[in-house]
Chain A
Amino acid sequence: DARVTQTPRHKVTEMGQEVTMRCQPILGHNTVFWYRQTMMQGLELLAYFRNRAPLDDSGMPKDRFSAEMPDATLATLKIQPSEPRDSAVYFCASGLAFKQYFGPGTRLTVT
């Protein structure tokens, strides 16, 4: 049963530190999405890729967030420098057509 995997599952860091979250999409899926879950906004789309090319990253704070897909098996989301307001659960999802499959998430706490 193919699944999206994310690492780390939990990350606690101090303000100002760099954070890198990784995602392995399901093999054969051509779109990859990064979401952030907050209480107020629900699932907020940060960025997404099709065939490894970035399609839209307008949901990300550009000055501190960056998303890349160095190859078809790896997507990364970096925050540098991190801030306490970045504390949230970050989900990666991959998909074909209009159904997306989510990873278990990375719970980030910035102190």
Chain B
Amino acid sequence: DQQVKQNSPSLSVQEGRISILNCDYTNSMFDYFLWYKKYPAEGPTFLISISSIKDKNEDGRFTVFLNKSAKHLSLHIVPSQPGDSAVYFCAASATGGNTGKLIFGQGTTLQVKP
């Protein structure tokens, strides 16, 4: 049972346009969410996170939006650059358990075309 789902395996956008990556979750205990970026032959690297007490967190070109009622979060990249081409993983955690455990989605491959 996938508790974190990224339903779009891939996304292609033009350089300079907005990229929107989506993620849905089912467990209402999740209260902390992260996005990781992964280049080929490398491990995932942390990109941005959001706590459930917020509905938006921004870091430069990257913004994460959280809609708790819909159990949905999205990552916006504006403007998209060719170097953003990578696999993006959404992850969620129930911090009350204090385990540090993250549940990851399947990933979305983003291609930004020059």
Residues of A within 8 A of B (CB): 4, 31, 33, 35, 40-45, 48, 50, 55-56, 91, 93, 95-105
Contacts of A35 in B (CB 8 A): 104
Given contacts A43-B44, A104-B41, contact A98 B106 (CB under 8 A): no
The reply to whether B43 and A93 form a contact with Cβ atoms under 8 Å apart is: yes
Contacts of A4 in B (CB 8 A): 43
Q: Which residue of B lies closest to A43 (CB)?
A: B104
Q: Which residue of A lies closest to B106 (CB)?
A: A42
Question: CA A99 – CA B101 in complex, angstroms?
Answer: 9
When the two chains form the complex, which single residue of B6, B41, B42, B102 contacts A100, counting CB atoms closer than 8 Å?
B102
Question: CA A33 – CA B104 in complex, angstroms?
Answer: 13
The reply to whether B89 and A43 form a contact with Cβ atoms under 8 Å apart is: yes
The reply to whether B43 and A99 form a contact with Cβ atoms under 8 Å apart is: no
Other than A99-B46, A99-B49, give 19 A-B pairs with Cβ distance below 8 A: A4-B43, A31-B99, A40-B106, A43-B104, A45-B101, A45-B103, A48-B100, A50-B99, A55-B99, A55-B101, A95-B100, A96-B100, A97-B100, A98-B34, A98-B49, A100-B46, A100-B102, A102-B36, A104-B43
Q: Is there a chain A Cβ closer than 8 Å to B32's Cβ?
A: yes
**CB proximity of B96 to chain A, nearest CB, Å:** 11
**CB proximity of A91 to chain B, nearest CB, Å:** 6
Q: Which residue of A lies closest to B108 (CB)?
A: A42
Contacts of B102 in A (CB 8 A): 33, 45, 98, 100
